[in-house]
Each structure stands twice: as structure tokens, then as C-alpha cells.
Amino acid sequence: MLPESLLETRDLLYLARADLDASERLLVGEPLIGIALFHCQQAVEKALKAYLSARQQPYPYSHDLTDLIARCRQQDPEFVTIESPAADLTRFAIAARYQRALSATPPEHVMPVFQEAKRLVRFVEERLPPEVTR
């Protein structure tokens, strides 16, 4: 049984992984590009919040990945290495939901975004207690 303090971390990580899974599924067949990009951003957002939760640090209910990275960097300076790629994903939190033009993005341009989101989530997972990453 996980300590109470890590239950939220486990749940956030589960949701981050589910967002990655949703994004991947949305990119096959008739791809739903905008929604897939939104789920990429959401996966990274939830992973960062999982990290902060594991460190018992407060986090805002915000989609701003730059702010979340800054908070994570206070706990682990290595987060500076993902600052730029994470910041690039922030725009998909809102734009992908309301800008129809994103849906016209060719799938081959979206796969690198998806792969980057997976890499960023793995980066965070590697810094979480093993009992929440199983």
C-alpha cells in the first residue's frame, strides 16, 4: 500500500500515461490532430504535477508548462534540460482545442511532438519513486 502522500502522484502519473495512450490512438486511421496534440500537452502537464506531488510541493491548476518546470527545477536542477521542449507544448493546451487550423497539420509533423511528449513523461518518471511508476 502506498503512503497517502504518493497516492496523488500515482494517480497523476496514471492520467499522464492515459493521455499519451489517447494521443497515440488519435493519430491512427483518420487522425484527430488537434485533440492528439492537446493530449500530448496534458500528458506532460500531469507528469510534472506528479513530480511536484511526490515532493509534496504545491502546484497551480494551470496549463503553463514553463511555470511547472520552474517549480520542478527548484527540486531538481536537471529539469532545465526539458524546459524548452516542454514550453513548446504549452500552446497545445488551449490552441489545439480552439484553433481549427491545427487539425490540418500533417500527421508526420505531429509524430515528433508525440515522441517528445513521451520522452518528457519518461524523464519525469525516472525521477519518481519506483513504487508509483509500476
pTM of the model: 0.92
Select from 127, 123, 57, 58 the least CA-distant residue to 89.
123
The pLDDT score that the predictor gives to residue 98 is: 61
Q: Which residue, chain included where needed, has cell 519513486?
A: 129
The pLDDT score that the predictor gives to residue 92 is: 85
Is 133 a member of any domain? no
The pLDDT score that the predictor gives to residue 100 is: 65
Tens-level pLDDT at each residue, the chain (134 residues):
678 779 999 999 999 999 999 999 998 888 888 889 999 999 999 999 999 999 999 999 889 999 999 999 999 999 999 999 998 898 888 765 665 666 667 778 889 999 999 999 999 999 999 999 88
Residue 15: CATH number of its domain: 1.20.120.330
Task: Name the E strands within 16-121.
Answer: none
Is 134 a member of any domain? no
Structural domain including 25 reads 4-128
> Hey, what amino acid is at 79?
F
Is 35 a member of any domain? yes
Compute and round to an integer the Cα radius of gyration of the chain. 15
The pLDDT score that the predictor gives to residue 133 is: 87
Q: Are 113 and 89 in contact (CB under 8 A)?
A: yes
**The total number of structural domains that make up the chain:** 1
Is 88 a member of any domain? yes
Task: Give backbone dihedrals phi and psi of 89, rounded to 5 degrees, phi first.
Answer: -80, -20
The pLDDT score that the predictor gives to residue 101 is: 64
